[in-house]
A and B are shown apart, each in its own frame.
Chain A
């Protein structure tokens, strides 16, 4: 076998693949954050907690009603999305008039409550979630062995991201959304129910987080803290990409996943900090982010 600067190719491509998987989650979560930010102008700190709830919904319906992975892929985003709609209608709606920092603080408090409740009722330990039978096994790609489930996660995430992009850029509903982002009062004069659109956007954004939670359950296991730690990295990703564009959020998510993976190959000590270092560099050179509008 050949070697790449002293790194065996299995290790190299294995880490790139792991990076792509992390990137798939970064992309889906920062996509949801960017969607919500675009219309509501708030940063949803509870995004990680809702991702965690998505995973828990999958685990709970498997335990108590026998609905498996494929059912969970549909049920969990709907449950999380509905929860998001309730949160928007009951609380977040009241905060639009105020400084956006208040909604950040509110959703931070909400994240603490949700995480605390799940820790109280389900304990801090991780609950394993089985990989669905159709996706078990390993594929030999020649250069590396690819667990089929991991390949599926990357493909599924890309498909979801592209569908969302298509929905926003190529459909009538998407054009309404973009119009509301530009000038909500004007759109309202055309008879579009903007407040309802805002509510549904929040629901859709957190529904994406719920879906990401189900996809993550078999890889990272289901535990109450799974969202919080991921969230901070996703925030850094959002700062790097800038929240100007949906495509930018998706691209930056995958890119930074791969950057993280490559760092694990060449300088493992820095793998946990590399994204933050990239963030600092981007801020120095392009404060608005890679895809942000200044």
Chain B
């Protein structure tokens, strides 16, 4: 409760951040519900899943203070697993997505066990190298079909009832998955676990001296981040009915870093905004070939040099300044 607020009536809830958040959530839901009637649903689904991916990635960077340069491995491997499960094993949508998520988590556990032994730039290089290993595995393993990828993956029925071949139905399901995933991340960040994670990020020796098991916290956060990245990748397979190598390259690992950085790594929802900006940018620049890479690179450089707080960080700063002035 802020001290300068006019004394609220007894029993009335003062406008806290949680009610503001609820209002925002309602607005967001309304926008999500209206969006497919205005914009192309496939584009929206893609954007939503990348928003989830960016938020999941940022759990590690923004709140664990560890830059992973290999998150495409979780995204891409989960995509292959979900695609294989739906097409070859004929399993339904929900099971395939869960299998993909589990695959992402398992891979995250392996990466995490190795990478959390080092910090900072070493952590980044290790995750990058490990993801490259996964890439070569995907290139050579027979079930991924190498350069062709897994094609014409059936969307099937959700819970054996709801036909997902309809784009708008699939959109609704994906909106629930993506927003649900992001809410989980929000919950984790604001939980006691998230507080410990932030404490470790800010001062590791102090967190150790307070008796927290640093490695365990980092590992759990990493596995969670990998699992949710996997969920995004596994679900994306059903949007385009294809799982390919482009979902597992280091370019994508770099792209998700850009999304988080552009949106604002210190916030939970900033990376989602960053992802939206990057996806829209890619959509409109797609016909310019190599210029997409060049503009992405310039955005990266500009973010690092000029606004390290990202769009959300700048927004919060402006809001605080306006509030402070009034």
Contacts and interface: CB of A to CB of B under 8 A. Distances in A.
Interface of A: 42-43, 91, 94-95, 98-106, 108-117, 119-120, 232-233, 235-236, 238-239, 269, 272-273, 275-277, 279-280, 283-284, 287
B297 A113 contact: yes
Chain B: interface size category: 35 or more
6 contacts: A91-B301, A102-B304, A109-B298, A112-B294, A120-B289, A269-B140
Interface stretch (B11-19, B125-133, B225-233, B273-281): B125-133
B125 A239 contact: yes
B199 interface: no
Nearest to A287: B117
A127 B180 CA distance: 49
B300 A105 contact: yes
B137 interface: yes
Given A109-B298, A239-B118, A287-B117, 5 more contacts: A95-B305, A104-B124, A109-B301, A113-B301, A239-B125
Contact of B132 (A99, A112, A238, A276): A276
Contacts of A109: 258, 296-301, 303-304
Interface of B: 67, 114-115, 117-118, 120-122, 124-126, 128-130, 132-133, 136-137, 139-140, 250, 254, 257-258, 261, 289-294, 296-301, 303-305, 308
A287 B121 CA distance: 14
B125 A117 contact: no
Contact of B128 (A91, A111, A232, A284): A232
B211 to A, nearest CB: 23
B118 A283 contact: yes
Contacts of A104: 67, 121, 124
Given A269-B140, A276-B133, A120 B294 contact: yes
Nearest to B294: A116
B123 to A, nearest CB: 9
Chain A contact surface mostly: helix
A276 B290 contact: no
Given A104-B67, A232-B132, A95 B250 contact: no
A91 to B, nearest CB: 7
A91 B290 CA distance: 23
A236 B122 CA distance: 10
A101 B124 contact: yes
Contacts of A120: 289-291, 294
B296 A112 contact: yes
A91 B124 CA distance: 21
A105 B126 contact: no
B72 to A, nearest CB: 12
Contacts of A239: 118, 122, 125-126, 129
A42 to B, nearest CB: 8
A106 B300 contact: yes
Contacts of A236: 125, 129, 132
B130 A280 contact: yes
A195 to B, nearest CB: 19
A35 to B, nearest CB: 15
Contact of B291 (A94, A98, A116, A277): A116
B301 A106 contact: yes
5 smallest A-B Cβ distances: which pairs?
A109-B300, A112-B297, A113-B297, A116-B293, A116-B294
Contacts of B303: 105, 109
Contact of A106 (B140, B296, B305): B305
Nearest to B115: A283
Nearest to B118: A287
Given A95-B304, A120-B289, A113 B298 contact: yes
Contact of B300 (A95, A112, A272): A112
A252 to B, nearest CB: 14
A116 B297 contact: yes
Contact of A113 (B122, B132, B294): B294
Contacts of B128: 232, 235
B293 A119 contact: yes
